[in-house]
Amino acid sequence: MDHAAEAQRTDLMTITRHVLNEQSRHPESRGDFTILLSHIVLGCKFVAAAVNKAGLAKLIGLAGETNVQGEEQKKLDVLSNEVFVKALVSSGRTCVLVSEENEEAIFVDPALRGKYCVCFDPLDGSSNIDCGVSIGTIFGIYMVKDKDNVTLEDVLQPGTNMLAAGYCMYGSSCTLVLSTGNGVNGFTLDPSLGEFILTHPNIKIPRKGKIYSVNEGNAKNWDGPTAKFVEKCKYPEDGSPPRSLRYIGSMVADVHRTLLYGGIFLYPADQKSPNGKLRVLYEVFPMSFLMEQAGGQAFTGKQRALELAPAKLHDRSPVFLGSYDDVEEIKALYASMSNSG
């Protein structure tokens, strides 16, 4: 990439312009979705700024409360959650919100209601703030049947009904990756402009990767197929070189690397967490949607991840996602286990 030439580029594809272009392909659309996305983008910019000055602003450390999942809350999660809730409600385009930080769904005041439901994790990986590891926001967007009679059923939809999904990673640069069901695009925040610029058009995950990503500290509690897969990554039986292990422990960062470089990210079920650890609505579904849109796959150990039907807001599921061929391998291991079992 010629950075000097890039710096001189004057035709900038901002995220707003990109989404408006997408909108023009749907003559029936009224711009509601574009407005909703611009509010999400504003939330991401706010959180990016807050994360950057977290150390200075004394935002680091515990806010003293514990969230629904029993995790001690960092001040920055509380702040990020408030920012996104307010941004989404004020857009006038949402009727129900599901946040990792709120036990119950948030039903928007009828006067401000629109036709969308947004599920989000305002600050994933926030325990990593203190050590400077990348953290991020994850979101998924659905449409509801009737905004005036919205129920919990409107939220508990399978991931196949999702309209759009994305994440924003606050790392060495601030990157927003988005799919509206027509491929995956990556945007980078240009701090001098305060705009997200298209830097990774039409992301396609490599068909096969050389990296596997899993918390090996849980190995003694894994099931057979997961243990066998990881064993094959380290000691290949076909004479191929062993795979590299990369595990950051911040889902957004691990998935981002998997999307760009290929490979597989695993968060399997184990004896300690029989349903896995990642939440279906705002972690598994959005990331699975992005993987499929980029030509990869996402599997739960039993089925295609997007076909899960969540029963509760904070349901969890195991997940194996990444390069198409790599996920095929783990699927084959689970199939042979169920056949022999």
Q: What is the pLDDT of residue 132?
A: 84
Q: What is the pTM of this model?
A: 0.92
Average pLDDT over residues 21-34: 85
Per-residue pLDDT at 60 exceeds 90: no
Q: Which CATH number fits domain 15-202: 3.40.50.10540, 3.90.480.20, 3.40.50.300, 3.30.540.10?
A: 3.30.540.10
Average pLDDT over residues 189-214: 97
Q: Which helix (H) or strand (E) holds 5?
A: helix 3-8
Per-residue pLDDT at 332 exceeds 60: yes
Taking Cα atoms as reference points, which of 213, 182, 184, 214 lies closest to residue 199? 184
Per-residue pLDDT at 9 exceeds 90: no
Per-residue pLDDT at 68 exceeds 80: no
Q: What is the pLDDT of residue 3?
A: 60
Residues with Cβ within 8 Å of residue 205, at least 6 apart in sequence: 258, 259, 260, 262, 291, 294, 295, 296, 322, 323, 324
Average pLDDT over residues 37-66: 78
Q: What is the pLDDT of residue 63?
A: 55
Cα(159)–Cα(297) distance, integer angstroms: 13
> 15-202 and 211-339 share one CATH topology?
no
Sorted by where each begins, the domain ranges of the chain are 15-202, 211-339
| Average pLDDT of every residue of the chain | 92
Confidence of residue 67 (pLDDT cuts 50, 70, 90): low
Per-residue pLDDT at 339 exceeds 80: no
Average pLDDT over residues 138-156: 93
The three-state secondary structure class of 271 is coil
Q: What is the pLDDT of residue 2?
A: 59
Average pLDDT over residues 168-181: 96
Confidence of residue 11 (pLDDT cuts 50, 70, 90): confident
Q: What is the pLDDT of residue 126?
A: 85
Q: What is the pLDDT of residue 90?
A: 97
Per-residue pLDDT at 65 exceeds 80: no
Per-residue pLDDT at 313 exceeds 90: yes
Q: What is the pLDDT of residue 24?
A: 85
Confidence of residue 263 (pLDDT cuts 50, 70, 90): very high
69-120 pLDDT, tens per residue?
A: 666 555 888 899 999 999 999 999 999 999 999 999 999 999 999 999 999 9
Q: What is the pLDDT of residue 207?
A: 98
Cα(19)–Cα(274) distance, integer angstroms: 39
Per-residue pLDDT at 314 exceeds 60: yes
Quote the percentage of the chain above a pLDDT of 90: 79
How is domain 211-339 classified at the architecture level of CATH? 3-Layer(aba) Sandwich (3.40)
Burial state string for 11-44 with b = 16 or more CB within 10 A and e = fewer than 16:
eebbbeebbeebbeeeeeeeebbeebbbbbbebb
Q: What is the pLDDT of residue 129?
A: 80
Per-residue pLDDT at 156 exceeds 90: yes
